[in-house]
Amino acid sequence: MRGPHNVWRLIRTGATFERTGAMKVALEAMEAPARLRLAARVVGWPFRWLGIRGDENLPPVTRAITALGPAYIKFGQIMSTRPDVVGVELADQLRVLQDKLPPFSVAEAKTQILEEIGVPVEVAFSEFSEPIAAASIAQVHRARRADTGEEVAVKVLRPGVERAFRRDLDAFNFLANLIEFFLPGSRRLRPTEVVSHFASVVEGELDLRIEAAAALEFAANTARDKGFDVPRPHLDLSAKRVMTMTWVTGAPLGDVPALVAAGHDPHELGERVLSLFLSHALRDGYFHADMHQGNMKVAPNGDIVAYDFGIMGQIDEYTRRVYAEILMGFIRRDYRRVAEVHFEAGYVPRDRSVEDFARALRSVGEPIFGMQAEQISMARLLAYLFEVTERFGMATRTELILLQRTMVVVEGVARSLNSSVNMWDIAKPVVEDYIRENLGPKAVARDMARTARVFGRYGSRMPEIVETLLERQLEQPEPPPPPSKLRDVGLVATGGGLVALGVLLAGLL
């Protein structure tokens, strides 16, 4: 499908941004260079009449994104959490993309529920509301179980959403291939792999059975987290395109006036959401990867309640240990050690200088220590981090793109609640606890016990295994040395552990 018809799709995308006025607004909000703004206008203007008109009642960027479809809306949701990148005004405009999109009809929702669970809505539920929230992939109805009387939320996928996503992803793949062909220098960023990763994430989000299973696992992992809760899925009333969960009562995390009116402290909530995310990523290696304001509420008792588990992230144990060591290096401002870890992990090519890389990290990190969070321009910081990754030839790590994406979103949520949130103070105890449990003597003893168990299982077969490996080695020419395991697992898309820098530079975590 990745043929010439995608040229039309991409032209229409640019034309839609130009026709709605979104191109000018977006580039100005992101402080794009004047030359880039001029080039975009010159290229886009002749085709503006081909663009989709969109809803003229919406602001320009929101209007363009909603007109283009669900994949674009997903990107807009991320940007809605980054007022420091796109500006406060534009971020507020984009926030409607989280849960306030036009809904589809109740009749369509009821038809899908009947087809999926085999029971009419009138039989399964004694009450069933109009849509109360609608996002890019699904909408939610408030209902009450007919058998137990329990209040629940019923999530139903949008009709035709799978086809719409496939169409957009097809165009994104086409664009990624064009970029790699005409701009060879971009290949280190692996645009085609990034799009493929995004596609795999979306496919998981379009099967609500997977989301229900994720909710159960996440709830088990976080059961002891103080001030945090996860609603329970009702598996007997859930299927591929329909999911029923316990109703969440509380104030939306993005509604600061409502939080204050309910007696909650927005500053404390901002710090807590960051601390919880770091704990889930480091301690469990399994985290909610779509933690924008539209997916969290604050219960009357003060608990942060997360829902919508369509996108979850996972980090293996080995990577978490490296990640923690990098974070601690930044906390201690030991840039030399941070640089060494990057080289040991294989994130930076070995032909580059450790000293030069440590100096580059210091040039970004040191100025941040003396700044308040609200003084930092994340747009400029991200631009400089990108320059550093390019200078040192650091390739994109697609394995953990979700970690980077969630870092950006969660930090944006925290900033919306507390603009002066201190990233260093929040990260330090979480990282120290993890290091104490996983990099100290207890961890060494635990690793040795695991190794012993492995040898116990395979000990009797070791001579046979070694002999087979030696025979294969003799039969084949010697291959080039493989990258280290750390290089295979990588950290994030912007070039390995540099995202860890963003975490503590009042930025990406």
Distance CA 83, CA 30 (A): 10
Cα of 32 vs its chain's centroid, Å: 24
Distance CA 290, CA 272 (A): 16
Single out the catalytic residue among 84, 170, 225, 290: 290
Q: Which of 76, 55, 56 is nearest to 65 (CA)?
A: 76
Q: Is 225 considered catalytic here?
A: no
288: helix, strand or coil: strand
Other C-beta atoms lying within 10 Å of the C-beta of residue 111: 14
Q: Residues 273, 177: contact at Cβ < 8 Å?
A: no
Distance CA 80, CA 72 (A): 12
Q: Residues 447, 441: contact at Cβ < 8 Å?
A: no
Q: How many CA atoms lie within 13 A of 433 on its CB side?
A: 13
Exposed (0-12), middle (13-18) or buried (19+): which is 444, by Cβ within 10 Å?
Answer: exposed
Distance CA 76, CA 93 (A): 10
Distance CA 275, CA 53 (A): 42
Q: Which of 267, 274, 314 is nearest to 291 (CA)?
A: 274
Residues facing residue 245 across a β-bridge: 153, 233
Known catalytic residues are: 290
